[in-house]
Amino acid sequence: MSTAPRLTALDALHRSLGATMTDFAGWDMPLRYGSERDEHNAVRTKAGLFDLSHMGEITVTGPQAVELLDHALVGNISTVGNGRARYTMICQEDGGILDDLIVYRLGETEYMVVANASNAQVVLDALIARAADNGGFDAEVRDDRDAYALIAVQGPESPGILKSLTDADLDGLKYYAGLPGTVAGVPALIARTGYTGEDGFELFLKPEHAEGVWKALTEAGEGVGLIPCGLSCRDTLRLEAGMPLYGHELTTALTPFDAGLGRVVKFEKTTNEGRFVGREALEKAAERAETAPPRKLVGLIAEGRRVPRAGFSVVKDGVVIGEVTSGAPSPTLGKPIAMAYVDAAHATPGTEGVGVDIRGTHEPYEVVALPFYKRQK
Amino acid sequence: MSNPQQLSYTKEHEWLSEAVDGVATVGITEFAANALGDVVYAQLPEVGETVTEGETCGELESTKSVSDLYSPVSGEVVEANQDVVDDPSLVNTAPFEGGWLFKVRISEEPKDLLSIDQYTELTAGN
């Protein structure tokens, strides 16, 4: 494995904008351009522009593409209409989460699976291996990581900004839908998805078109407060929106049910006689979550100002009752917030006396239901 | 960015002003503030507390991380900047001015400070 970080097609542009760069899953990515709080607030109130080209695109095509995806993933991909998208997961045989994914149906027998950068190779390998299961599926799994740059424009002003640059029918494009179109004169897959808790779009483009589209969006958004945004604010945006991040809330040691996301597992699939990788283990996990859940994912809001970080212990009466998986100062709430797995007995919102051990001091925290932030529609 | 001439610096990116009547002001450099990102919480040493050169005396919390604050000099704290406690973003917007952190009555001449040239060299290329 090469140790030199991979650069996106927008690398030179980020540097010209003075971005602070960071290594993320082997990619050199913008962490922030200026103040991450300003970037966060721009997405909540106006619009932000992100380079997400590190995300891993995998194309699955062929007569049995949908059968393969129903077999390999926990979702019911057969029910995804043409031009629609679905949030789903890929699990191990023991039910442990390998990654969370978005699957876009691009055509009758063509799907694009978008994996987290850190898991793209794992997901690709698993899909290729699973394509050979059950005597083999008549489908092709293609690594398209280098075929796409990915630019996201997120925030309440994003529909207006994008509308000025595309002939696509954005009003007809629902949340979790995607259609091919033209943006700033070049072909793009336009998807109404994001990871910020706001309305917004993700644009899958040829890498050689990325710079032109970025500049066109920047110009179109100038008058309404669009600014470039880095991964730092993407993390606080998704945290406020209660969205899990792989490696934090999701790991191979947890099933979707443990993570409070059992709804993504569909046992009522009709393809492959209802069988799929992980089914038996996930049925047991579903029952355990129903009857005797070990821990639950909750939100924590600080009463003080010290910030909880991933790995910090959640405590009550001097006893460890859980662990923080993500924590940050919330620009919207003006207080530190965290997601944490907490023993089920203490996971009810409003549970008294819960704290986080912040470098030896037990700071008081309020247990709340997720998400911390929900946009007004 | 340019570091003020009249200050001394540490390897941990604090600055120390020239002492007036034995009292000097401490802050962190613009380089450090930029590296931290938005500072959201500052825990400063309290008035009357004794600080020791090279030892931690507080912490600065930013969006992504928490960093220890090291005292560039030994002595007694005579003032902590309440403006920074109330609005930690001053550390980002004015690290050499309104974002100063505390004032200390020096008890011992500091041994390990860097000159402006040494500090500028340390942070060059970053």
3-state secondary structure chain A: CCCCCEECCCHHHHHHCCCEEEEECCEEEEEECCCHHHHHHHHHHCEEEEECCCCEEEEEECCCHHHHHHHHCCCCHHHCCCCEEEEEEEECCCCCEEEEEEEEEEECCEEEEEECHHHHHHHHHHHHHHCCHHHCCCCEEEECCCCCEEEEEECCCHHHHHHCCECCCCCCCCCCEEEEEEECCEEEEEECCCCCCCCEEEEEECHHHHHHHHHHHHHHHHHHCEEECCHHHHHHHHHHCCCCCECCCECCCCCCCCCCCHHHCCCCCCHHHHCCCCHHHHHHHHHHHHHCCCEEEEEEEECCCCCCCCCCEEEECCEEEEEEEEEEEECCCCEEEEEEEEEHHHCCCCCCCEEEEECCEEEEEEEECCCCCCCCC
A299 and A337, same domain (yes or no): yes
Domain contains A250: no
* Domain ranges, residue A48: 6-53+148-240
Closest residue, chain A, to B37 (C-alpha): A35
- Residues tagged in the binding site annotation of A for substrate: 202
A215 and A344, same domain (yes or no): no
- Under-70 pLDDT residues of chain A: 1-2
A238 vs B: CB within 8 A:
no
Domain contains A245: no
Q: What is the pTM of this model?
A: 0.93
A190 and A67, same domain (yes or no): no
Q: In chain B, what residues touch A234 (CB-CB under 8 Å)? A: none
Q: Is the domain B8-107 a CATH 2.60.40.10 member?
A: no
Domain ranges of chain B: 8-107
A40 and A155, same domain (yes or no): yes
A37 and A65, same domain (yes or no): no
pLDDT digits (tens, 9 = 90+) for A316-345: 999 999 999 999 999 999 999 999 999 999
Domain contains A92: yes
Q: Given this model, what pLDDT does residue A152 score?
A: 98
Residue A236 belongs to domain with CATH number? 3.30.1360.120
Interface of B with A in 37-66 (CB under 8 A): 37-38, 40-41, 43, 61, 63-66
- For A232, the closest of B34, B37, B43 (CB atoms) is B37
Closest residue, chain A, to B68 (C-alpha): A359
Q: Given this model, what pLDDT does residue A168 score?
A: 94
Q: Given this model, what pLDDT does residue B126 score?
A: 56
CB contact under 8 A, B61 and A20: no
* Number of structural domains found in chain A: 3
B117 vs A: CB within 8 A:
no
A68 and A107, same domain (yes or no): yes
CB contact under 8 A, B66 and A309: yes
pLDDT digits (tens, 9 = 90+) for A70-91: 999 999 999 999 999 999 999 9
Residue to test with chain B: of A20, A39, A306, A330, most B Cβ within 10 A: A306
pLDDT above 90 (res B2): no
Q: Given this model, what pLDDT does residue A376 score?
A: 83
CB contact under 8 A, B34 and A32: no
A318 and A364, same domain (yes or no): yes
A233 and A177, same domain (yes or no): yes
Q: In chain B, what residues touch A32 (CB-CB under 8 Å)? A: 37
pLDDT digits (tens, 9 = 90+) for A168-224: 999 999 999 999 999 999 999 999 999 999 999 999 999 999 999 999 999 999 999
